[in-house]
Amino acid sequence: MSAAELRRRVRAAEALKAKTREMAATNALTAREAAVKAAKAKEEADVTAREAAAVVLRLFDNDAELVSELLGVPAEELEREAKPVTAARAKEIIESLRARAERPRPTRARKPRADAASSASGIPAPASTADDSRADAA
């Protein structure tokens, strides 16, 4: 083996080591970022669960036994989760839920099943709009 070939192989081995280190560092960074995101998501989920426990207890007049039976969760666990949530925060969440419940639900106009069947068979469906049905009803 010539000296030039030996130097070429050494450089190739060094380049491979550098590339391996770079990939390992990238992999470690990606895993760390994923772990941070997962930890943040877990913390948000824990907060949401604590708030939900406080809200449901407040809505049921703090009857932990009744809520425990309804949800199948031990009463002690519900009380422990609800404890860190302030009454003001629970009230705020309840008010937002009530406001959401009072809003009308958005509805989408659905195609009649006959239109779907005729379009599947290759026959064009008659064009109709919501205004047509109102005009027929009047």
Report CA 1 to chain centroid distance, whole Å.
Answer: 61
Distance CA 48, CA 97 (A): 14
Along the 138 residues of the chain, how does pLDDT read in single tens digits?
899 999 999 999 999 999 999 999 999 999 999 999 999 999 999 999 999 999 999 999 999 999 999 999 999 999 999 999 999 999 999 999 999 999 887 777 777 776 555 555 555 555 555 555 444 444
Cβ–Cβ under 8 Å, residues 61 and 94? no
Q: Sketch the domain layout of the chain as residue ranges.
A: 3-102
What are the DSSP calls for 19-80, one per residue? Answer: HHHHHHHHHHHHHHHHHHHHHHHHHHHHHHHHHHHHHHHHHTTT-HHHHHHHHT--HHHHHH
Distance CA 77, CA 60 (A): 16
Decide: pTM greater than 0.75: no
Q: What pLDDT does 123 receive?
A: 57
The answer for residues whose C-beta is within 8 angstroms of residue 114's C-beta and 6 or more apart is 125
The pLDDT value recorded for residue 60 is 94
How many C-beta atoms surround the C-beta of residue 55 within 10 A?
20
DSSP code of residue 85: S
Query: Exposed e or buried b for every residue in 14-29, given b needs 16+ CB within 10 A?
Result: eeeeeeeeeeeeeeee
Residue with tokens 């509805």: 107
Q: Is 75 exposed, middle or buried (0-12, 13-18, 19+ CB in 10 A)?
A: middle
The whole-number pLDDT of residue 1 equals 84
